[in-house]
């Protein structure tokens, strides 16, 4: 998909809820840029 993904607060909370039960070993802070502006690019980052 080439359209930019609009991530709203509801979507962010849904992502957070899906990973709440997982044991986190690291915290990741990143800046999103042109390489991940597409929905596909963002989903790849979330899956990584």
What is the predicted pLDDT for the residue at 33? 82
pTM: 0.35
Q: d(Cα 41, Cα 48) in Å, to the nearest integer?
A: 11
Q: Where are the domains of the chain?
A: 12-47
What is the predicted pLDDT for the residue at 37? 77
Mean pLDDT of 1-25: 63
Residue entry with tokens 């709203």: 8
CB 1 within 8 A of CB 40: yes
Q: With bands split at pLDDT 50, 70 and 90, how would you rate the model's confidence at 5?
A: low
Mean pLDDT of 2-31: 65
Residue 39 has pLDDT above 50, yes or no: yes
Q: With bands split at pLDDT 50, 70 and 90, how would you rate the model's confidence at 40?
A: confident
């Amino acid at each position: 998909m080439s359209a930019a993904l609009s991530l709203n607060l509801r979507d962010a909370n849904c992502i957070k809820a899906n990973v709440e039960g997982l044991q986190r070993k690291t915290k990741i802070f990143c800046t999103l840029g042109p390489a991940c502006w597409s929905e596909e690019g963002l989903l790849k980052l979330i899956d990584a």
